[in-house]
Amino acid sequence: MSSRAWARLNGMTTHTLETNGADIVYDVEGPLPAAGGRPPLFMIGQPMEASGFRTLASYFPDRTVITYDPRGLGRSVRKDGRVDNTPTLQAEDVHAVIGALGVGPVEMFASSGGAVTALALVAAHPDDVTTLVAHEPPLFPLLPDAEAADRARAGIRDAYEARGWGAGMAGFMAMTSWQGEFRRSTSPGPRPTRPSSGCRPGTTAGAATRCCPTGPGRSATIARTPARWPRRRRGS
């Protein structure tokens, strides 16, 4: 490990914030207020936890980087008894974390479902973010082949619920590798016939559906979001 990486590792602090129905855990790498007067860089994903951004954060040694575990994932514990995800609720969690930082608006990189959360955030709280990079938000309703794509995603969910996490992930990889538009008569690819054990060794497919908050049945709701998002940067 380089001295810079070691310094960043030892300079990281972890915080827990109680929000509506969840304890949200977030990490701060670097000083607050950030050095040079620049806003902190907040990196978010869904269903990815803060640990998924460690490598990317290491490429920004001159920035204060914020990461967090979305509610129900990693270290962030849900207390509302629910397992579904909605962009508006997760956006309020992110809004609460930004408020807890106490340093004003942030710059944000948001990927996948996190990009949907971020779009909901800037729609509801535009003063929270100065610049947003929304990377590949899964906004199926905006696609010209939305109906066929939704059926393909339903097939992934069915494979997951019938044969476990491995089958669902295989279907997901096939779908994300699909070239061109989805059509009524096509599917993302062959579904695996070999049964999968689910979340942990020895876990049945039915139990996997209950124990995996990241399964297709849990995270698919992030895509069901109105298409009324800001299309320009603030101030443009």
Q: What is the pLDDT along the chain (236 residues), one digit of tens a residue?
A: 443 444 455 489 999 999 989 999 999 999 999 988 899 999 999 989 999 999 999 999 999 999 999 999 999 999 999 888 899 999 999 999 999 999 989 999 999 999 999 999 999 999 999 999 999 888 878 878 888 888 888 888 888 888 888 888 888 888 878 888 887 655 554 444 443 333 443 333 333 333 344 444 444 444 444 444 444 444 43
**Distance (Å, rounded) from C-alpha 27 to C-alpha 47?**
17
Distance CA 39, CA 31 (A): 11
Name the residue with tokens 């809004």. Answer: 95
Residues of the chain with CATH 3.40.50.1820: 3-137
The fold of the 3-137 domain, in CATH, is Rossmann fold (3.40.50)
**Tell me, what's the pLDDT at 49?**
95
For residue 129, what pLDDT is reported? 98
C-alpha pair distances (Å), 188 with each of 22, 33, 88, 102, 155: 35, 47, 29, 45, 9
Question: What residues form DSSP beta bridges with 26?
Answer: 15, 68
pLDDT of residue 185: 58
The pLDDT assigned to 187 comes to 55
pTM, full prediction:
0.73
State the pLDDT at residue 115.
Answer: 95
